[in-house]
Amino acid sequence: MSGKTIKKVLYRIKHYWGYLAISVIMAMITVASTLYVPIIIGDAIDFIIDRGNVDFAAITDCLIKVGIVVAVTALSQWIMNVCNNKITYHVTRDIRDEAMERIAHLPLNYIDTRSYGDIVSRVIADVDTFAEGLLMGFTQFFSGVMTIIGTLVFMLSINVKITLVVVLITPVSFLVASFIAKKTYSMFKLQSEARGEQTALIDEMIGGQKVVLAYNHSDEAIEKFDEINERLSKYSLRAIFFSSITNPSTRFVNSLVYAGVAVTGAITAIGGGITIGQLSCFLSYANQYTKPFNEISGVITELQNALACAARIFELIEEQPEVPEAENAVVLENIDGTVELEKVYFSYVPEKKLIEDFNLKVKKGQRVAIVGPTGCGKTTVINLLMRFYDVNSGSIKVSDVDIRDLTRHSLRAGYGMVLQETWLKSGTIRDNITMGKPDATEEEIIAAAKASHAHGFIKRLPKGYDTEIGEDGGSLSQGQKQLLCIARVMLCKPPMLILDEATSSIDTRTELKIQNAFAKLMEGRTSFIVAHRLSTIQSADIILVMKDGHIIEQGNHDTLLRQGGFYKNLYESQFAG
Amino acid sequence: MKMIWKYLKDYKKECVFAPLFKMLEAIFELFVPLVVSSIIDKGIGGGDQNYIIKMCMLLITLAVIGLVCAITAQFFSAKAAVGCATGMRHSLFAHIQGLSYTEIDTIGSSTLITRMTSDINQVQNGVNLVLRLFLRSPFIVFGAMIMAFTIDVQAALVFVAAIPVLAVIVFGIMMITRPLYKKVQAGLDKILLVTRENLTGVRVIRAFNKEEEEIERFEKANEELNGLQKFVGSISGLMNPLTYVVVNVSIIALIWLGAVRVDAGTLTTGAVIALYNYMSQILVELIKLANLIVSVTKALACANRIDGVFAIESSMEDGKVKADDSVKADIPAVEFRNVALKYANAAEDSVTGVTFKVMKGQTVGIIGGTGSGKSTLVSMIPRFYDATGGQVLIDGRDVKEYTLESLRDKVAVVLQKAQLFKGSIRDNIKWGKPDATDEEIMEALEVAQAKEFVVKKDGVLDSFVEQGGKNLSGGQRQRLTIARAVVKKPDILILDDSASALDYATDAALRKSIREMTPSPTLFIVSQRASSLKFADIIVVLDDGEVAGIGTHDELLAACEVYQEIYYSQYKKGE
């Protein structure tokens, strides 16, 4: 599992192999020159022997060398840092872009059934943690490994026996570290689970805060929050504490190594095996050799965490996208507006049948009204027409072409859709109106806004059409938001219309005026209208009365009234008060 | 900074012990070069093996003490950091819960979510590191300097010169990067916003074939963030090389000075090595510090953002009087006296000069054009927003005098946007009355016309509602939100256009069953449908924020032009 994840990460790093190569080369230079400095200084110290016995010329040579090597080290270190930064942030940017790309093409079914908070936290928090782990890995892992190799070589060049002491004791620190890492992994997992649970709660309660306030539910929300917070705190404390033991423990092992080197080194020195300068150099190597072991053990925990996060992102990126378009998918240019549904069967979950054997033929320019009690499948029909969902069996044809043989874009461009649930994106009013036609002229925009009776209130906003609206429309009223959604459609004038309770939040007077504009727009355009207000559907050519996924009545207003069925009941209840 | 202290206050003991034990550890570490120096001078110089072994045992003892101190310090700092973050999360959440509608409108939830999660985590990290290292590092640095003084005063002056330079580098880089990290977090907010919008608005985005543009928008925001991160990274990346240079230049100076002093016979070779070791220790410490300073700087930037939320005070002051249900027959249940409301940042009043009285148990209909201020008007009753002019009174008292909690217990509002929460249907209804019995819940569902579809569900009251009620239809959601309000048995019930997704028959049945509730609430109905309001005791007609007429259906139909227009737009004349 994690092997696969590593492979995926490496695959994405591959694009930046140039930076990677530079980084590795710079790491080698850095390590080599960092290790070389103690040798020169050791030499210099050896020239300081005793009173009146100091070779200043030789020392000067050594110190100049030190200066040059230090300059090289600093430069290569900085270049390495910059490269590592580049690689890390480019990789995370790429992964985020990939994730977004996938989100844009996920089947609606996926989005409808997941909590937004979870998807968002994958794109934001998980990628962040991953980036941190990756950066740390790059900066410390490479130079760590190289330091180990480098110091080994240098130490061997000075004295084999003492080197053996170092090499034999050091792996103990690895054992200690991996023992602790194993113990802490489960703590980290518990911690991130609790964190996820808490994020979901925050997302929900802050997103729905107006209701929370209206129902004095704050105390309960806080109580629930605290319960999770308490658990999170417990797991965090354990995770942090146990993982932080790693460092002192391995450092302890290092101190033992240091003491070992001091003993063997000093005894060897008495026997004249090495010089004092070499011993001092050795001691500093012993320090440098063991340090990367600490760091690597730290990096390993961090990387484990990073990989766990990466796995969650890849899970999203690799999610099955919408059924791909047929290779020879047609771009439908002249949509004439005929729509035909033939033996359509559809349900969201196999166990719960919804739409069964749905047949409908709509001629060009006809108005189809869909009515029925809530939950009868009206919105589902729209999901199918727009191909947000694919039919289970049967077919839907537009201009005599099965919509599965069309490109999604050309199909959806054929429809203008206004939904009951108004959705605006953060940006200016203008951005929101021109969604369907970004190159619209100022006149067109104003004309569309006037037709949808939004011009009046827009004009009164502080900056008119350039007023920024916040997330989810900010402080605009529900009705104003709906007017903007209508203006959006009025502007792009598509050949077919879908109006799902398009005017539910608008007052009837304005609605009446908009209806006129709609009527003009609908002329010659096929339209599907879902509405409760029977006045708005009386003039439809076909009225579909739906119940439990079936069409129970079909006809125009007059024939349906005469039938005296379900429709008649609905109609009369409007006037019953 | 100040804010972090506030949450660390409960962990004073930990905050003292963590750095203290860290310092103890550091002290023992500082002895090591001294021991080594004496091994070289006395042990090797005197050829005394026993002395060497004795000194090495001392080294091991120092290591053991160091280990114990370090673990103790880690424990205390972890405890303080986690405790601090936990407390901060609690307070921030509670603080956000205490904000009023005005603040919620202006802040936006995306950024609140990042602040509650990512930002606080960064602070926790930062506190943990500060407790462990920010005291230890300076201590080692100054400790090394002091030890150098004990060896040789003149050589120690090199330390005195080097340390301020190092401090300038470390703190300079911190100061430069801190505002940049704040920008990075803001960039993250932006990405979160786009991601969320692409989830909540998926249907519209796809209907308008906007996927590619949204991807572009995301990529642009992402690129911006990326640029910032790289920029900050390359500045922070300077810290290591720069400190490395400074320390090594000092070492060069030290060796030269040492050479001169040994030549003069005032210093031994062992002492030079010890001085060199102390300088190396400073370097090791600074490298550690450099890696962590990034986290600490980030933490400070994040703390600043959290503080920003704390700084937002609720613009609403709580009252003192507890609202109760004692009724005085002659005092109006609700009264508007020349009420006006102007939203924050708005150019003009949303409603002005509204005056009317409602007696207990009456039904008030509010009707008017889109944006005419209907929702605004009723939102002042439970004090979602405060009137900016005039007074709203309940039972003869200004609503501002009541405690918010008791006021909102007395008044139930069903908002336009039907919002449910993850949990069972029972959990959702219990929002209205936490101790409601199943019987009461069923009763409320019946009133809200929701019983029919709820009993058909598997698990009935236990059936699961997803976040936001995504697995229910719009009409079902609306009815559940109505049941949630009804179960309270409120004195005042406000339906803010909350039956828009219901068909007429259901709507009519709903109004009938609400009227039959005992005790019968004072009812406000905001609606577009004249039929829903026709039988109200009073109908308030709003036009562009002003009252266009108040009266019964018949009175208004006779005299109010706006009402006539509305009515006849729904009922053709003569029908």
Q: Mutation test of the interface with chain B: which of A475, A538, A570, choosing the one with the most B Cβ atoms within 10 A?
A: A475
Q: What contacts 24+ positions apart, CB below 8 Å, involve A382-387? A: A382/A417, A382/A498, A382/A500, A382/A528, A382/A530, A383/A108, A384/A341, A384/A344, A384/A346, A384/A355, A385/A339, A385/A415, A385/A498, A385/A528, A386/A411, A386/A412, A386/A415, A386/A417, A386/A498, A386/B203, A386/B206, A386/B207, A387/A411, A387/A412
Write out chain B residues lying below 8 Å of A413, CB-based: 209
Write out chain A residues lying below 8 Å of B56, CB-based: 259-260, 262-263
Write out chain A residues lying below 8 Å of B96, CB-based: 206, 209
Number of residues in chain A: 577
Q: Nearest Cβ partner of A478 from B25, B192, B416?
A: B416
Domain borders along chain B are: 2-310, 334-568
Residues A423 and A379 in one domain: no
Residues A82 and A179 in one domain: yes
Is the CB of A70 less than 8 angstroms away from the CB of B208?
A: no
Is the CB of B67 less than 8 angstroms away from the CB of A373?
A: no
Architecture of B2-310 per CATH? Up-down Bundle (1.20)
Q: Can you tell me which residue has the tokens 């660390």?
A: B8
Write out chain A residues lying below 8 Å of B260, CB-based: 54
Write out chain A residues lying below 8 Å of B262, CB-based: 48-51, 54
- 8 A C-beta contact, residue B261 and residue B155: yes
Write out chain A residues lying below 8 Å of B505, CB-based: 569-570, 573, 576
Residues A297 and A373 in one domain: no
- 8 A C-beta contact, residue B367 and residue A507: yes
CA distance linking residue A498 with residue A416, whole number of Å: 6
Three-state SS at B392: strand
Mean pLDDT by 10 residues, chain B (575 residues): 80 87 82 80 78 86 89 90 90 84 73 81 84 77 84 84 87 88 86 83 78 86 91 88 89 87 82 82 76 79 85 78 70 88 76 88 86 84 86 88 85 83 86 86 88 83 81 83 88 84 79 84 85 85 86 87 82 54
Q: Nearest Cβ partner of B570 from A86, A230, A535?
A: A535
Q: What is the rounded average pLDDT for all residues in chain B? A: 84
Write out chain B residues lying below 8 Å of A249, CB-based: 67
With 0-12 CB in 10 A as exposed, 13-18 as middle and 19+ as buried, what is A95? buried
- 8 A C-beta contact, residue A219 and residue B436: no
Q: Can you tell me which residue has the tokens 């005042």?
A: B492
Q: Mutation test of the interface with chain A: which of B55, B69, B204, choosing the one with the most A Cβ atoms within 10 A?
A: B204
CA distance linking residue B97 with residue B306, whole number of Å: 15
Backbone angles phi and psi of A547, in degrees to 5: -150, 130
Q: Say what the pLDDT of residue B477 is.
A: 87
* Inter-chain CB pairs, A–B, below 8 Å: 516
Q: What is the CATH number of the domain that holds A341?
A: 3.40.50.300
ipTM of the complex: 0.78
Is the CB of A89 less than 8 angstroms away from the CB of B226?
A: yes
Residues A88 and A206 in one domain: yes
CA distance linking residue A312 with residue B87, whole number of Å: 29
Q: Nearest Cβ partner of A206 from B59, B62, B112?
A: B112
Low-confidence residues of chain A: pLDDT under 50? 1, 575-577
Does a structural domain hold residue A440? yes
- Whether domain B334-568 has CATH 1.10.3720.10: the reply is no
A225 touches chain B (CB under 8 A): yes
Residues A241 and A389 in one domain: no
CA distance linking residue B246 with residue B292, whole number of Å: 19
A463 touches chain B (CB under 8 A): no
Is the CB of A86 less than 8 angstroms away from the CB of B230?
A: yes
With 0-12 CB in 10 A as exposed, 13-18 as middle and 19+ as buried, what is B110? buried
pTM of the model: 0.74
A198 touches chain B (CB under 8 A): yes
CA distance linking residue B526 with residue B486, whole number of Å: 16
Is the CB of B421 less than 8 angstroms away from the CB of A569?
A: no
Residues A248 and A359 in one domain: no
Of A493, A511, A537, which residue sits at a domain end? A493
Contacts of A427 (CB under 8 A, 6+ apart): A468, A469
Summarize pLDDT for B447-504 with one digit per residue, the tens: 888 888 888 888 888 888 887 777 787 788 888 989 998 888 888 999 888 777 777 7
Residues A168 and A248 in one domain: yes
Question: Which among B144, B135, B152 is positioned nearest to B282, based on CA atoms?
Answer: B144
Residues A69 and A119 in one domain: yes
Q: Identify the domain containing residue A362 by its residue range.
A: 326-414+495-577
Question: Which among A546, A544, A558, A545 is positioned nearest to A367, based on CA atoms?
Answer: A544
Rg of chain B, C-alpha, whole Å? 35
A322 touches chain B (CB under 8 A): no
Residues A231 and A183 in one domain: yes
A515 to chain B: closest CA residue: B569
Does a structural domain hold residue A546? yes
Write out chain A residues lying below 8 Å of B21, CB-based: none
- 8 A C-beta contact, residue B277 and residue B40: no
Q: Nearest Cβ partner of B202 from A108, A240, A379?
A: A108
- Secondary structure (H, E, C), A217-269: CHHHHHHHHHHHHHHHHHHHHHHHHHHHHHHHHHHHHHHHHHHHHHHHHHHHH
Distance from CA of A78 to the nearest CA of B (A): 6
A331 touches chain B (CB under 8 A): no
A31 touches chain B (CB under 8 A): no
Is the CB of B409 less than 8 angstroms away from the CB of A508?
A: no
Write out chain B residues lying below 8 Å of A109, CB-based: none
Distance from CA of A205 to the nearest CA of B (A): 8
Is the CB of A420 less than 8 angstroms away from the CB of B504?
A: no
Distance from CA of A230 to the nearest CA of B (A): 7
Residues A477 and A382 in one domain: no
Is the CB of A56 less than 8 angstroms away from the CB of B203?
A: no
Q: Say what the pLDDT of residue A576 is.
A: 44
Domains identified in chain A, total number = 3
Distance from CA of B452 to the nearest CA of A (A): 12
Of A290, A316, A342, which residue sits at a domain end? A316
Write out chain A residues lying below 8 Å of B241, CB-based: 73-75, 77-78, 81
Q: Can you tell me which residue has the tokens 């190597």?
A: A285
Instruction: Give the DSSP per-residue string, A511-522.
Output: HHHHHHHHHHHH
Write out chain B residues lying below 8 Å of A73, CB-based: 241, 244
- 8 A C-beta contact, residue B556 and residue B563: yes
Is the CB of A426 less than 8 angstroms away from the CB of B116?
A: no
Q: Which of residues 155-174 of A touch B (CB under 8 A)?
A: none
Residues A309 and A343 in one domain: no
Contacts of B384 (CB under 8 A, 6+ apart): A210, A213, A214, B100, B101, B413
Write out chain B residues lying below 8 Å of A269, CB-based: 40, 44
Q: Nearest Cβ partner of B117 from A54, A199, A472?
A: A199
Summarize pLDDT for A431-485 with one digit per residue, the tens: 888 887 888 888 889 888 888 888 888 888 878 888 888 766 666 777 888 888 8
Q: Nearest Cβ partner of B421 from A204, A229, A533?
A: A204
Contacts of B390 (CB under 8 A, 6+ apart): B336, B337, B338, B339, B340, B353, B354, B355
Does a structural domain hold residue A321? no
Q: Nearest Cβ partner of A210 from B104, B237, B263?
A: B104
Does a structural domain hold residue A331? yes
Is the CB of A475 less than 8 angstroms away from the CB of B245?
A: no
Residues A382 and A487 in one domain: no
A260 to chain B: closest CA residue: B56
Of A493, A526, A559, which residue sits at a domain end? A493
A153 touches chain B (CB under 8 A): no
